[in-house]
Amino acid sequence: MTMSRLADRVALVFGAGSVGPGWGNGKASAVAYARAGARVVCVDINRSAAEETVGIIRGEGGTAEALACDVTKLLEVEDVVARTGALFGPVDILHNNVGHAKMGGPPDLSEDEWRREMDLNVTGMFLACKVVIPTMQARGRGVITNISSSAGIRYVGYPYTSYYAAKGAVNQFTVGVALQYARDGIRCNAILPGLMDTPLIYQQISVQYASPDDMVKARHEATPMGRMGTGWDVANAAVFLASDEASYINAVCLPVDGGFTARCA
């Protein structure tokens, strides 16, 4: 395991498990942080998914602990941050990866479904920042990385209005946090994954296609580079943004999409 870029730093990763076999964005990012030397707290609503990620990190000689949390519950987020401090010390890197895509336009969704999408995609990031930012202010430093989506800036071909709205909100939430707390030594950026080949798409996106194979083929073809990205593309960007090499990068919404959002048609 390579340990240098993030040595002695504490990374708190919300959404560090995976919804299925393979490498999701959060799982890959947690492992990548550990490979760069960070001590990682892997948080997921499904504790066994977080424990799987921790097992990988420990198997490579890294340091990690697993915790369970519903990011839409303030008391649970507060507990996770407190337990992180007790385990490893104050949070240096806050990585917000929880998200969900619900198909349907306004007539198709109930009010509860709409609110749930806002809570999962936006409120969880707000609560994590609400709890962690004061600890970063007290120390005069910190990095926050929010995982958004290309859907936050473009229509990407899927009928999920609530997801477009939520990810657009994540982008401007990121900018607002970044600028408000820049003088406190806190940097906040967002990563906007494009068409990625992660376990999530087989659960939340594949229903739009005749078969999973059709989905994979169509998504490969829709990307300028001719292939989808992976969780590791997001993870590599996250490690860079958390490192000292990115010390003057703030308030950026960074597409990691193979050029997908730069294309008009």
Active site residues: 163
What single-letter amino acid sits at 189? N
For residue 261, give the DSSP letter: G
What single-letter amino acid sits at 138? A
Strand ranges of the sheet holding 253-256, from the earlier edge strand across to the other edge: 64-68, 39-44, 10-14, 93-96, 142-147, 186-193, 253-256
CA dist 96 and 117 (Å) reads 15
CB half-sphere exposure, 164, CA atoms < 13 A: 13
The helix/strand/coil state of 93 is strand
Phi-psi region of 206 (alpha: psi -120 to 50; beta: other; left: phi over 0): alpha
Phi, psi of 9 (to 5 degrees): -100, 155
